[in-house]
Amino acid sequence: MTPTSTISQAKQALGNDLYLLGHHYQNDAVLDHVDLRGDSLELARRIPDLAARYIVFCGVFFMAESAAILATEGQEVHTPRADAMCVMAEMAPSVLAERVMQRFLDHGRKIIPLTYVNSSAAIKAMCGRLGGSVCTSANAATMLKWAMSRGDGVLFLPDKNLAQNTADSLGLPRTSRHILDIRKDGEAFSLEATDKTDLIMWPGCCAVHFRFRTSQIKAMRTHYPDCRVLVHPECSPEVVKASDGAGSTSYLIRECQEAPEGSTLVIGTEINLVARLAAQHAPGKTIVPLSVSSCANMAKTTQDNLAALLHRIQAGDAPDPVQVAPEIAEPAKLALERMLEVCA
């Protein structure tokens, strides 16, 4: 049997007991089978309303973990490749972040931790426990304003680029921001240096969006003088400033849909999404990647390993579902629910 027929057969046999979700950075062969494709926010929003017994998440591990946290009793969340880790999420180990937060607490400053959804459940749990929350690239400005209104300052983690770009969009002065030095087990930075700042940023970034350069934008503008350059806010602030617009995955998709026929759009984000947009809108609109940058972890999910997983579920031999220990799941859920409430 081909992977496609295995997947179709499993979907038919399991019916409403199965629901497949996929992030836009997945490849077409996988996304063709999912019930819902979306960006991080759209997918997280749908989890609490799903009734299926088996939720299969095609994306990276933190997404499946968030789904497991938001799923209801009796539901199982599975992912074809549990080793598909987001490089950025890995840059914020929870033990280190807890140590840094403890230093702020001991210092007497009420710092609210706000984590990008691209982070481990343990980081989200820390945010839940310490009065903070979660954000995605689609709601980062709303959530940063929310967090800033609740304490003396905000620790934004793990993405310093999303933090800087969001702060720029809110007009927060550069002088009130500080990129943390997390060396020496979180002891390297001076608390005094962060005292007068409103936004403290963890020094993480995305390996895929880090690669885009202002020189590439310049070259594209030379080649396509009438183009619009649109990028994801995980790109550096320099790249965002040199572009014509920046926003989440859903923003980039919307901009391509709404652009008039005949326009040329240069898109700086993961290549699977850009290639799909280019194919969808050809020949009326020209859509080209700023450069080809691919997420190796997103690419770990294939039609073959999706078929293998669904075959096992159908045969009653499902692997262990994604599990989050209750002492982590409970405060992490609180953090996620705060975001879903604030952005309802």
| Residues found near ligand 13P in the complex (CB under 6 A) | 39-40, 86, 118, 136-138, 206, 234, 248-249
Is residue 207 part of the contact set for ligand SF4 (CB under 6 A)? yes
Answer for which of 7, 21, 60, 71 binds ligand SF4 (CB under 6 A) is 60
Nearer to ligand 13P, 10 or 201 (CB): 201
Instruction: Quote the least distance from Cβ 197 to ligand SF4, whole Å.
Output: 25
- Find tokens 């409970």 and name the residue: 330
Answer for the pair 180, 201: CB distance below 8 angstroms, yes or no.
Answer: yes
The smaller minimum CB distance to ligand 13P, of residues 136 and 263, is found at 136
> Do residues 165 and 146 make contact, with C-beta atoms less than 8 angstroms apart?
no
Q: How far is the CB of 238 from ligand SF4 (least distance, A)?
A: 18
**Residues with Cβ < 8 Å from 98, sequence gap 6 or more?**
126
CB count within 10 Å of CB 5 equals 10
Name the one range near ligand SF4 by CB under 6 A: 85-93, 150-158, 217-225, 256-264: 85-93
Counting contacts by CB under 6 A, is residue 86 touching ligand SF4? yes
Output the smallest distance, CB 269 to ligand SF4, in A: 8
Nearer to ligand 13P, 136 or 236 (CB): 136
Neighbours of 225 (CB within 10 A): 8
In which order are the strands placed within the sheet that holds 177-179? Answer: 133-135, 111-116, 153-157, 199-201, 177-179
CB 18 within 8 A of CB 54: yes
Q: Which of 70, 100, 163, 298 binds ligand SF4 (CB under 6 A)?
A: 298
Q: What are 75's strand-pairing partners?
A: none
**Interatomic CA distance for residues 183 and 206, integer angstroms:** 19
Stretch that binds ligand SF4, among 84-92, 100-108, 161-169, 327-335 (CB under 6 A): 84-92
From CA 201, how far away is CA 206, in angstroms rounded?
A: 14
Minimum gap (Å) between residue 59 Cβ and ligand 13P: 7
Q: Is 270 a binder of ligand SF4 (CB under 6 A)?
A: yes
Size of the site for ligand SF4 (CB under 6 A): 13
249, interface contact from ligand 13P, ligand SF4, none, CB < 5-8 Å by kind: ligand 13P
Question: Which residue among 87, 91, 101, 180 contacts ligand SF4 (CB under 6 A)?
Answer: 87
Q: 317 CB contacts (<8 Å, ≥6 apart)?
A: none
Distance CA 295, CA 49 (A): 29
- Which pair of tokens denotes residue 21? 């979700």
Whether 312 contacts 10, CB under 8 Å: no
Residue 342 makes contact with ligand SF4 by CB under 6 A: no
> Which residues contact ligand SF4 by CB under 6 A?
25, 60, 86-88, 118, 206-208, 270, 295, 297-298
